[in-house]
Structure 1
Amino acid sequence: MGRETGWKNTVLGDTVTVNDYVIKAEDFNDKGQVFVSISMDREKLKTSPLSAGMEVVYNDRVKVYAQKVDPNYETIKKDGKEFKTGNWNPYSKLDILIKGEPEFDIDVETKKDTYDSKSTGDSVLDVSIEIKNDGDAKAKNAILTIDTAGMDVLKGKKSTHLEMFLKTRLLNL
């Protein structure tokens, strides 16, 4: 899935914010389930009941896994009947995982600061492009296309396919 943010203990009404996603323990029931919601910008995206060992995934980006759900009350038997005693104070232990994404930092450099289209020596514009993936995940099957603003490409290409992109890559156009 990507980056794990670690487990969080939650009680009724607790919220945990991770990368703008808000995970909330909405409710608990006496069957050992926590009702979890995933929201962003005050909009509820997904709600699901979770028992220990279950997970809910939203849009292949956020996963909430219930390590433990404890109703946190005692049950006693009296005259063949079960009674819950003490304060009902349920809690859960949740793992929250956020899928990492690639993030590109693209630097375009030319050999000179200015070019004069009327000058014979400036008839060719040498450009080098450096791409860095500063994100949390590798990029797969990305296509980089350079807009040359109508200029002809004499050497190199305007588009390149990046099958797997983990680190800095230099492209010369």
Structure 2
Amino acid sequence: MRPSMSGLLAPRAAAFDQRVAAVIALDGVYDLGHISTASLPLPRAEAERRLRAEHDPELDAMLEAAMAASPMMRWAIEHGMYAMGVDTPRAFGATYLDFHLRDGMAEKISCPTLVCAGADDGFFLGRPELLYEHLTCPKTLPEFTADQGADAHCQSGAQRLAFARVYDWLDDVLGHAA
């Protein structure tokens, strides 16, 4: 089980492949582009245009300042640059714009879907719920809270609990293997 960005990639695969019997979005994501643009003091359309621009020194400086001000932002962007194989924070932000379940894509998912969400997810807060709202298939959104130690991104403080719930859900949805 691979959490985080697979919370978008697994549902995206299920939207186009009817052989998928069930999907787990741990943590669920509706639109990674929101993550690239939400912290920028710009309207979304302008942020997207500037992230995709060949050159934008002012935006580059904004991203560098955000990374300097926040260790979490620095880690997320540097890790994202590595994962996406790009050399700049702006290029990383631009890559995320293409990863989404908008435009009716989430609604194409027909198999049962489990969408997990940490109550205090520092990266995807509110994003799993948005995915859940757009699903028209059988769906479940379990509660992961601070009292359980499971409120962080991908329930990192309580993965045994999260995985136990995932496996119980799979057992309920798919039944016992013969």
TM-score by length of 1: 0.22
Q: Rg: which structure is higher?
A: 1
TM-score by length of 2: 0.22
The structure where helix makes up a greater share of residues is: 2
